[in-house]
């Protein structure tokens, strides 16, 4: 158990250090172009990491709590903030996903994914915790409801991956293959409807299928692949990537993985592709290991859900950067720049870490 705890923390720190190095690399370019202050950048990162540590410790503390009304409050507040983005949200890049609170911006969709898992975990316990068969459709209904709110921001990627996360979590905890197949069919139907009725969905699918290669977003996908190819085995070196110089936007956010591979390649330390993939897999595996050795139904559900959520969002980000799935706007946990993502993921991994410490066997 001590070995797993140590490996878990090392994997989390590895991702965090890698992300800090990437953001510093991108900032060097931005500071010249936009005249940004280096001291402000440093202070901002210190604050982000400080909030992240606080969230991690809060997650460890939350592990001790039994399912109760606090879960309902967290879930409905996060959904309420999500709805508020339609009224007083901040728009960027054609999407309205952020709420401005003084000097800070908050992205509610980052918090709703983990609050939903807590809410479903409480539902799971209310049915005796004997399996997910009895709550499968109720859980999926609640997930689709939340996902629709996210979709209309618009934020297709988070909506789709959230549904995938819940289906996979329910399957790992006992849902039947027939339920999963039926849910998959519903997801396909929803995808077809979204493709026919939402321009941003149609655009991204057409790019993936090679039907819209002249658009701006299509060029992003191409440049992301160029980054990976340029990186090779050992990369161009820290800070030496070229795609961040205006060729590939969101170099420290949506395309963080591609920029890391350009600078560190496949095996360069610490941002090489294989090291990032290994860290994500290690964190996920240890989380599922802890869930398997937990006798409390609620904690077991949440441990599986948090681990699967971390895994799916991480690997969809990397798959997008490699051109394996349609382009989305998902961050890479602990690597991509963003305070809301860092805090929400830190809370989840803090909860998992406490579960690892409490695991039996």
Between residues 158 and 61, which one has the greater pLDDT? Answer: 61
Distance CA 123, CA 319 (A): 32
Between residues 56 and 136, which one has the greater pLDDT? Answer: 56
The pLDDT of residue 308: 97
Between residues 351 and 206, which one has the greater pLDDT? Answer: 351
Per residue in 3-38, pLDDT tens? 899 999 999 999 999 999 988 888 877 776 666 677
Per-chain mean pLDDT for the chain: 85
The pLDDT of residue 92: 62
Over residues 345-358, mean pLDDT: 96
Whether the per-residue pLDDT at 312 is higher than 70: the answer is yes
Cβ contact 149:277 at 8 Å: no
Q: Which phi and psi (to 5°) does residue 290 adopt?
A: -65, -40
Percent of the chain with pLDDT over 90: 43
Per residue in 120-175, pLDDT tens? 999 988 875 556 777 888 899 999 999 888 877 777 778 888 999 999 999 999 88
Q: Which helix (H) or strand (E) holds 240?
A: none
């Amino acid at each position: 158990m001590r070995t797993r705890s140590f490996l878990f923390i090392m994997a989390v720190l590895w991702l965090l250090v890698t992300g800090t190095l990437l953001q510093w690399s991108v900032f060097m370019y931005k500071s010249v172009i936009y005249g940004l202050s280096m001291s402000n950048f440093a202070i901002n990162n210190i604050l982000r990491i400080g909030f992240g540590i606080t969230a991690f410790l809060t997650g460890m503390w939350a592990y001790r709590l039994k399912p109760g009304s606090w879960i309902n409050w967290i879930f409905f507040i996060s959904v309420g903030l999500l709805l508020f983005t339609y009224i007083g949200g901040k728009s960027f890049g054609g999407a309205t996903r952020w709420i401005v609170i003084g000097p800070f911006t908050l992205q509610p969709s980052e918090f709703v994914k983990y609050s939903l898992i807590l809410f479903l975990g409480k539902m799971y316990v209310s049915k005796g915790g004997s399996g997910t068969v009895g709550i499968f459709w109720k859980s999926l209904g609640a997930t689709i409801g939340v996902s629709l709110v996210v979709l209309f921001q618009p934020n297709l990627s988070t909506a789709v991956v959230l549904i995938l996360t819940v289906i996979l979590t329910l399957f790992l905890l006992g849902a039947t293959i027939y339920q999963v197949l039926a849910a998959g069919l519903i997801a396909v139907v929803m995808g077809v409807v979204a493709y026919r009725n939402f321009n941003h969905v149609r655009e991204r699918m057409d790019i993936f299928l090679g039907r819209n290669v002249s658009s701006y977003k299509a060029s992003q996908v191409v440049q992301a692949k160029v980054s990976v190819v340029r990186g090779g085995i050992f990369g161009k070196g820290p800070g030496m990537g070229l795609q961040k110089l205006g060729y590939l936007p969101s170099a420290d956010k949506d395309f963080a993985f591609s920029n890391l591979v350009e600078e560190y390649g496949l095996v360069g330390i610490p941002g090489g592709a294989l090291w990032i993939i290994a860290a994500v897999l290690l964190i996920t595996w240890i989380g599922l290991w802890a869930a398997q050795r937990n006798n409390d139904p609620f904690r077991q559900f949440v441990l599986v859900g948090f681990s699967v959520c971390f895994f799916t969002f991480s690997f969809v980000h990397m798959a997008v950067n490699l051109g394996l799935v349609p382009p989305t706007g998902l961050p890479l946990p602990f690597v991509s720049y963003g305070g809301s993502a860092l805090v929400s993921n830190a809370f989840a991994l803090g909860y998992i870490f406490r579960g690892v410490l409490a695991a039996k066997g």
